[in-house]
Amino acid sequence: MSERTKIKLVSEIVGAIVLTLLMQLMGVMGYGQYTWMCFLPLLMFFAFGVDLKKIPEMLLCYAIGELWCVVNSLVTGLFTMWFGADNLILSSIVPTIIVIFCILLVHENLFEGRVFSNVPCIFMGMSTSFFTLFMQQPIGYVHLFCFWAFGILLAVCLVMGGMLVCGAIFGKERASKALMPLGADGK
């Protein structure tokens, strides 16, 4: 077994323990049924390459997505008022197309390359907000944002916990090198 594999195995064991134990806090706080929400920021964090610098952008854009859900609700409400709830196309589909177009226009074009341009996190904020709205969950946008932030904290703890333990066992330099994604060091 290669040294890289050994180091990664230790990191993965530590990560699994850290993540599982910290997720228990959702239940302790009375939100156990929303533990699934912690996995969404984990997915994004790892998809963005475990880049700690992306965290402020992830948090901000998630909150922006929640705001876009409010905008979508307002626009849909106006269209429903104008065209009637029975007209599915004009009361629901067209307003949502308009809002999604605006999201893409604003965040992919106007804010391209800036902290407001993380469209995946914007859509995640919007979609989880839709979920709680449509499923009539007894939580709101602040809860969702806190769950999102907690999930990001879990991701950081998972990565840092693995790094700390592996650094203590194998040495910081060897652990860092082994835990770096393939291709990130030019190989």
Query: Domain range holding 39?
Result: 3-179
Residue 184, pLDDT score: 56
Q: What percent of the chain has pLDDT over 70?
A: 97
pLDDT band at 186 (very low <50, low <70, confident <90, very high): very low
- Number of other residues whose CB lies within 10 A of the CB of residue 99: 19
Least reliable range by pLDDT among 16-20, 61-65, 79-83, 134-138: 134-138
What Å distances lie between residue 148 and 58, 74, 122, 131, 155, CA to CA? 9, 24, 12, 14, 11
**Cα within 13 Å of Cα(173), Cβ side:** 0
Q: pLDDT (tens digit, 9 = 90+) per residue, 140-156? A: 999 999 999 999 999 99
Give the integer Cα–Cα distance in Å for 14 and 166.
Answer: 9
Residue 134 lies in a domain: yes
Domain count, the chain: 1
pLDDT, tens digit (0-9, with 9 covering 90-100), for 5-35: 999 999 999 999 999 999 999 999 999 999 9
Query: Is residue 185 a part of any domain in this protein?
Result: no
* pLDDT score, position 181: 77
pLDDT at 187: 52
Q: Measured in whole angstroms, how far is the alpha carbon of residue 30 from the centre of its chain?
A: 21
Per-residue model confidence (pLDDT) at position 157: 95
pLDDT of 69 above 90: yes
The alpha carbons of the chain give a radius of gyration, in whole angstroms, of: 20
In a domain, 24, yes or no: yes
For residue 166, give the nearest of 12, 16, 23 by alpha carbon.
Answer: 12
**Quick one: which H or E segment has residue 136?**
none
pLDDT at 86 over 80: yes
Q: With respect to residue 59, please indicate whether it lies within any of the assigned structural domains.
A: yes
Asked, for residue 187, whether it belongs to a domain, the answer is no
Q: Which of 74, 55, 50, 62 is nearest to 141 (CA)?
A: 62
Q: What is the DSSP letter of 108?
A: I
- Name the pLDDT band for 179 (thresholds 50, 70, 90): confident
Greatest extent of the chain over all pairs of C-alpha atoms, in Å: 67
Percent of the chain scoring above 90 in pLDDT: 88
66's CB contacts (< 8 A; 6+ apart) are: 125, 126, 129, 141, 144, 145
Phi, psi of 87 (to 5 degrees): -90, 85
Structural domain includes residue 69: yes
